[in-house]
Structure formats: structure tokens, C-alpha cells
Amino acid sequence: MRTLDPFFIDQDVTAAVESVLRDILGRRQKEAEAVDSLFAADIADRVARFTLRGGRRLRPQFVWWGMRACGGDAAVADVTLQVAGALELVQTCALIQDDVMDGSPLRRGRPSVHVDMDAQYGTQGRERPCGTFGRAAAVLAGDLALAWADDSFAEAMTGTPSAGPATALWRAMRTEMVAGQYLDLHAQATADHSPAQAVRAAMLKTATYSVERPLMLGATLAGGSATAVGALGEVGREAGVAFQLHDDLQGAFGDADATGKPAGEDLRGGKSTYLLAVARERCEARGDRVGIRVLDRVLGARSEVAEEEVAEEEVQRVLELLVTSGARDRVVEQVEQLCSRSEDALERADLDPAATARIGRLLREACGRSGGNGAQRVPGSGPVHAGTEGARIGGVR
């Protein structure tokens, strides 16, 4: 392992992670080229391009600052960056395969991997037993990204004192992510509209591997105490759920230029989210049969309406229902409460002050609270502040 100056990396963690990713991906691409040039050009290079052009790098930053919060220094700086790079490859796998399962045409403002593959070979309308050629190829691309992630993590753990507990966290994170994705699919297949099930899926699919596990991994790599690792886990659990609920709000009401995906895409695809589950629950509580029919027409998993047949005005009716039913404001309120509890837990953890401050900023960014007054900004409205009602979401307090 190289000896790196962590104080220098503190100034721009993202740039340091980018450098590590380019090194990891460069080596993996050479390995793929040695196997087969067509495979390398079509699959390996796509995985590399997708990874390098993506995202806010929140997960790597949580790993880094979790390490710094527990006193990590130059001795663990390089291994932490390697693990951060491996995490981004897990994210690549998750996004590529999520787009296949949801039929999403765009990701990060560009064609999704499966769409790009079909466009290259003109196979958009040629269905195979497992979908189009592009969808099948994208599944392989996601598999490759996950294999690269595991390889990179294993390499980083060689000779690392904390390899045992860090590897246990890594294994748990991967299983949780797959379990969450399955629960998401299961809810769509069975028309399970339970808010508790929706938030359970969100917690496993996104919250744990986006915030909770990265913070715990960083703390573990630094040799943090069980108390410190557990405290950061609590911080990440609350913020991770808030992150996913805020993402649901952005998916419904957000600006496509900002999110990189078409506004209302989850609605058109009949995707089960906590936001929609709350809307249904509220319609059922007040006997709003019209509202329930609106949700069933566009979102019902057993509906015979194909995604491309859903009229834009029907999507708009759902968006209006999310507002008039109070579902949007309720979820905004819960995001605020979860974020506040996460920040409170961070203060109680009593870790390195500078790193704690950086983690706090990252938490606010993840929850959409990076505005000047710390309030969450909801698309189409002014700042919305949390109310006084207590919230308990799927057992998360």
C-alpha cells in the first residue's frame, strides 16, 4: 500500500477517489482485453465509462470521513480509498441492473446501458426470452462491475489489520442490497402497497449501502471502537432512509435536468415507493375511491396498462393526488425528522470534530437539505420544515 497524506486528501476526497478509480478500471480493462477484445469494447469499457462519469461520490466520501472521524491516519488512507473505489463499482452494478429491471431509458442524463447496447446493434424491438439483447448484455455488465468491486475490495484487504470485520460488513452490505432490490420487485409483482414494506425495501436497497455501511466501513478501517462503529451505523441508518425518501420525492416531482432521469418515471413504470404507499393509505383512510382508481390505473402492478400507454395527463393526476392527499408533505416531514435524528446521533457520537462537521454536511446534502437555512427544498414549492408530529417509519426511529 502507498503512504498518502490524509490531510491533503481531506481537501478534495472526490478527486482522490477519481484517481483510484481510474487506476482500478485501467487494470481491469487490460485484463478484459486480454480475454477478448469484443467483450472488452462492448462490456468492460462501458462499465468503466459509466463508473467514471457518474454521480456525487457520496458513498466514497462517507467511507473516507467515517475513517477520519475515528482517527484514521496515513496508515489507512490508501486502503480506505481503495475500498471507496470498490464501493463505486457496487453502485455501478446496482444502477445498471436497476435500469434493466425498471426499463429506465435514461441514467445520469444519458441513455441507460441497456438502451445504448440496443441502439448500437439495432436490437430494440427484438425480444429474447430474457428481454432484448441490450437488456441481457446490461445484466452481464452489472455482473462484471460487481466482480470488479469484489476483486478490488479483496486486494485492498490484503495485509489489513481490520480485514476480518471489514469483510463481514462488505458481505452484509451486498446481501442487503440484493434483498432490497428483490423486495422492490416483489412489491410490484404482488401489488403490495404497504408503507412498511416499501420503507423496508428502501432501507435494504439503498439506505444501508449508501450511508450506513460506508460510514461503518470507514470507522472499521480506522480501527474504531465497537461503540464508535455502532454510533456511525445509527447515524447512517437514519440518514440513509431519509436519502431514499427524498429520492422518491425527486423522482416524482424533480427536474429531469437535475436528476438525470425523466420526471415521473417511477409513476409511469408502476414502481412501488413509500411516497405512493402513503398516498394509497391516505386515500383508503378517507374512503377516496376515485383516488385509489387513479393510483390503480397508472401504478397498479396487476394493471393491463402498458407503460407506453399511460397518458401524460394520468401521470399528472397522480402527481396532483400526491399533493392533495397530503402524501408529499407527510414524506417531506418524515425526511426532515429522520435527518434531524441523524444529526443528533452524530453529535452524541463525540468523534473527531472536523470529520463530524464534514459528515454533517454530507448528510444534509444526501437528504436535500443543503440550502442556506437547512430546510429541505421540495420541487414546485418553497422550503418545507418538519412539523411537530413524531414519526416512526418501518421501525426506524
Cell triple for residue 108? Answer: 445520469
User: How much of the chain, in percent, has pLDDT values that exceed 90?
Assistant: 66
Q: What is the mean pLDDT of residues 132-148?
A: 97
Q: Measure the CA–CA gap between 91 and 260, rounded to whole angstroms.
A: 16
Q: CA-CA distances (angstroms) from residue 87 to 64, 69, 94, 170? A: 12, 19, 11, 9
Q: Is the pLDDT of residue 96 over 60?
A: yes
DSSP string, 201-260: HHIIIIIIIIIIHHHHHHHHHTT--HHHHHHHHHHHHHHHHHHHHHHHHHHHHS-HHHHS
Question: Lowest-pLDDT range, 71-85, 193-207, 261-275, 344-358?
Answer: 261-275
Q: Measure the CA–CA gap between 203 and 245, rounded to whole angstroms.
A: 10
- Three-state DSSP class for residue 384: strand
pLDDT value at residue 378: 55
Q: What is the mean pLDDT of residues 354-369?
A: 92
Residues 6+ apart with CB under 8 A from 355: 65, 68, 69
Q: What is the mean pLDDT of residues 22-51?
A: 98
Spell 270-288 as b/e; 16+ CB within 10 A means b: bbbbbbbbbbbebbeeeeb
Q: Is the pLDDT of residue 306 over 90?
A: no
Binned at pLDDT 50, 70 and 90, residue 392 comes out as: very low
Beta bridge partners of 377: 383
In the chain, the domains with their CATH numbers are: 12-384 (1.10.600.10)
Q: Measure the CA–CA gap between 271 and 189, rounded to whole angstroms.
A: 10
Mean pLDDT of the chain: 87
pLDDT value at residue 262: 64
Q: Measure the CA–CA gap between 206 and 213, rounded to whole angstroms.
A: 10
User: How much of the chain, in percent, has pLDDT values that exceed 70?
Assistant: 86
pLDDT value at residue 128: 77
Spell 222-245 as b/e; 16+ CB within 10 A means b: bbbeeebbebbbbbbbbbbbbbbb
Q: Is the pLDDT of residue 388 over 50?
A: no
Q: Is the pLDDT of residue 16 over 90?
A: yes
pTM: 0.88
pLDDT value at residue 263: 64
Q: Is 180 left (phi over 0), alpha (psi -120 to 50) or beta?
A: alpha
pLDDT value at residue 24: 98
Binned at pLDDT 50, 70 and 90, residue 307 comes out as: very low
Summarised one tens digit per residue, pLDDT across range 194-210 is: 888 888 988 898 889 99
Higher pLDDT: 149 or 203? It is: 149
Handedness of CA 374, 378, 379, 380 (dihedral sign): negative
Quick count: other Cβ atoms within 10 Å of Cβ 363? Answer: 27
Higher pLDDT: 381 or 278? It is: 278
Closest CA to 299 of 212, 208, 188, 164: 188
Q: Measure the CA–CA gap between 256 and 254, rounded to whole angstroms.
A: 6
Q: Tell the residue number behind the cell numbers 470529520, with chain if given.
A: 355
Q: Is the pLDDT of residue 310 over 90?
A: no
Cα of 309 vs its chain's centroid, Å: 29
Beta bridge partners of 383: 377
Closest CA to 234 of 10, 43, 66, 28: 66
Q: Is the pLDDT of residue 303 over 90?
A: no
Q: Which helix (H) or strand (E) holds 131?
A: strand 131-132
Q: Is the pLDDT of residue 119 over 60?
A: yes
Q: Measure the CA–CA gap between 297 and 318, rounded to whole angstroms.
A: 10
Question: Lowest-pLDDT range, 59-68, 119-128, 252-261, 333-342?
Answer: 252-261
pLDDT value at residue 312: 75
Handedness of CA 130, 132, 137, 141 (dihedral sign): negative
